[in-house]
Structure 1
Amino acid sequence: MVSVSAVLFAINGVVSKVLINAGFSALQLTTVRTAAGFACLATYLGLTRAKSLQIRRRELPWLAGYGVIGLFLSPLCYFLAISRLPISIGLLLQYTAPVFIAIWARFAQGRPVRSRLWWGLSVCLAGVILVVNALGDLRIDIWGVAAGCGAALLVATYFVLSEKGVGKRDTLSLMCWAFAAAGLLGSALSPWWKMPWGALFSWEHPWTGTLALGYFVVFGSVLPYLLVIGAMRYLSATNVGILAMLEVVVATALAWIFLDESLTPLQIFGGALLLAGVIAAETARVPAVVDDVELAAPKTPLAATGTP
């Protein structure tokens, strides 16, 4: 289930860039994704368990913040990153989020961590330097790199918020209202009547754009979330996060095949270093007697915001 979701998210990276190249902005894609995600989940929950959609007034500020940070600002930064960088580099930068989470756990929460956090951090930083080609001759868009790093910080913030409040309601209703908050903000900033809908029919086959947008919403957003939620019944959050890194490999291959986006051998080596460092950070936290990270972590892989 995790592998299938990773492949779906990877394909979605390519579809997202195709839509961006067709005329949709990062803000417009984020708005469509969140509003449509809310519509899908609200319809499903309304038909199967309507009571779960009930919310109390005191929940509204937290739900709004959770949705805006995790499902609006984070994917917005990711879409901005891949609009200016190869998809693989944007994903790799976002996947550094576990490093920030582990550092937060150690210094802000005082949790014990294994010593491999520090060499993992060093390896991760070395990988980032190679991936963005800081030592090479290729020109990398600095704003794209900043957006990718911003996405990582926002995903880390999203996970920290999740530890504090996810257990208060079931995951599906939480995601539904988070999508609602994100969709409302996106719709206010990017009205639907200003969307470049005509771009969907500008391809050789008019239905191609509609299919791409449909995939973006259903198979690139809602379905992968549900698959990972199901996988969490059988795997720990840490294992799910590690398996979800398959997305980077598949997305890199697909971007090379369909978008002619290629990395240098040094960048590929840097990507491998970065993922190794992220895995070290992901597994560096010492579990407590009852691991609240496992119980409360958001049931989505890191790139879903682009991939929360």
Structure 2
Amino acid sequence: MRRSASTGVVLILAASLFFGVCGPFAKSLIAAGMSAVEVTWLRVTGTGLILMVAAIPAARRMIAERRRPPLFPLIGFGLTAIAGVQLFYFLAVARLPVGVALLLEFTGPILVVAWIRWIRRVRLPHTAVAGALLSLAGLAFVVEVWAGLRLDTLGLLAGAAAAACQAGYFLAGERLTAQVGTPVLLAAGFGVGILALAPFAQPWRTDWSLLDGGVAMAGWSPPGWVVLAALVVSTASAYACGLPALRMLSAAVAGGMAYTEVVVAAVAAWILLGERLTGWQMFGGLLVVAGVFTAQRAVATREPDPVRAAG
């Protein structure tokens, strides 16, 4: 395996770890009285401020070199990969069981595989495709998709939109990181996300006193602002690891390996919130890990060959 590719594997797994622990932090704030959209906006805003400060040196270099960033692609990245995926996921959660909504969102890597294969007409390693499908099957067990299943048309549409936005994160991130660099891309994307989510979160109506009170977690009750800070730092670390990985791995491989986020989230909820894992969830976790191991084998294969045009 090439050194850059092995570094990409480590980064995408680190990103999944950071993303995975965000769930319990966010859930504890919601349980304390904040709405899901409020927590999302605070998460995006806090993360965005950190990433904007971190991007100042890179932005100065771009200005000195008189390089113009691709404005509309950056806006699109912020609307889809930052704001869209989270907003549509929460809309799906409002109308569907959480497990079903999560399963729908994480069909994003499958959409990535389909886009690269049929739209870009690039032949992918079989291990990348098999790994993504195996991880998706494992995810169904982790979220116990059969529990309390009910269908809602708007909820299904919102979940599908979340999956499309997640696919956009991998596809657009793979391209844009080569054009503007990770710091500028993250700063611009989160800036757009902050503005796009503000009308839905209405932070001017938020009860900020909730952040001063204790937040219930397994065996301890830290102040809300401490939990929010942990959520923000974890999110910033996740994006800072995940986007550079897209320059070292293909979007399809990175998407397949990102399923480890769900397993991490389940384990983190067990440790931080006292939510126990069932036997089926542990079995699903093993399937996800097997799928990730299968997908990462594609990293060591040769570059994919273009598919010959039909006729």
TM-score between both structures, scaled by the size of structure 1? 0.72
Hey, what's the Cα distance between the residues in 2 that align with 1:201 and 1:147? Answer: 33
- 2:47 counterpart residue number: 37
What letter corresponds to residue 13 of structure 1 in structure 2?
G
Identify if the C-alpha distance between structure 1 residues 145 and 108 changes in structure 2 by more than 3 Å, giving closer, same or farther.
same
Identify if the C-alpha distance between structure 1 residues 267 and 49 changes in structure 2 by more than 3 Å, giving closer, same or farther.
closer
Hey, what's the Cα distance between the residues in 1 that align with 2:198 and 2:143? Answer: 33
* TM superposition shift of 1:248: 3.2
Hey, what's the Cα distance between the residues in 2 that align with 1:148 and 1:119? Answer: 23
* TM superposition shift of 1:173: 0.6
Identify if the C-alpha distance between structure 1 residues 141 and 287 changes in structure 2 by more than 3 Å, giving closer, same or farther.
farther
Matched, 1:264 2:274: no
Hey, what's the Cα distance between the residues in 2 that align with 1:284 and 1:229? Answer: 19
Matched, 1:194 2:209: no
TM-score between both structures, scaled by the size of structure 2? 0.71
Of residues 249, 262, 269, the one that matches 1:248 is: 262
* TM superposition shift of 1:176: 0.4
* TM superposition shift of 1:157: 2.1
Mapping of residues 155-304 of structure 1, within 5 Å: 155-203=166-214, 208-217=223-232, 219-228=233-242, 236=249, 245-274=259-288, 276-277=290-291, 280=294, 288=303
1:54-88 Cα deviation digits (max 9, x unpaired): 598883322111101001111234456678756x8
CA contact (8 A) 1:28 1:186 kept: no
CA contact (8 A) 1:38 1:183 kept: yes
Hey, what's the Cα distance between the residues in 2 that align with 1:276 and 1:207? Answer: 36
Work out the number of aligned pairs and report it: 285
CA contact (8 A) 2:210 2:224 kept: yes
- 2:32 counterpart residue number: 22
CA contact (8 A) 1:97 1:156 kept: yes
Mean CA deviation greater in 26-35 or 173-182: 26-35
Matched, 1:10 2:20: yes
* TM superposition shift of 1:38: 2.6
Mean CA deviation greater in 120-129 or 221-230: 120-129
CA contact (8 A) 2:78 2:188 kept: yes
Hey, what's the Cα distance between the residues in 2 that align with 1:227 and 1:117? Answer: 21
CA contact (8 A) 1:95 1:278 kept: no
Identify if the C-alpha distance between structure 1 residues 199 and 125 changes in structure 2 by more than 3 Å, giving closer, same or farther.
same
* TM superposition shift of 1:186: 1.3
Matched, 1:70 2:84: no
Hey, what's the Cα distance between the residues in 1 that align with 2:24 and 2:119? Answer: 37
Structure 2: any 5+ residue segments left out of the alignment? 1-9, 307-311
Identity %: 29
SS at 1:203 equivalent? coil
SS at 1:102 equivalent? helix
Mean CA deviation greater in 76-85 or 258-267: 76-85
Identify if the C-alpha distance between structure 1 residues 279 and 100 changes in structure 2 by more than 3 Å, giving closer, same or farther.
farther
Identify if the C-alpha distance between structure 1 residues 269 and 204 changes in structure 2 by more than 3 Å, giving closer, same or farther.
closer
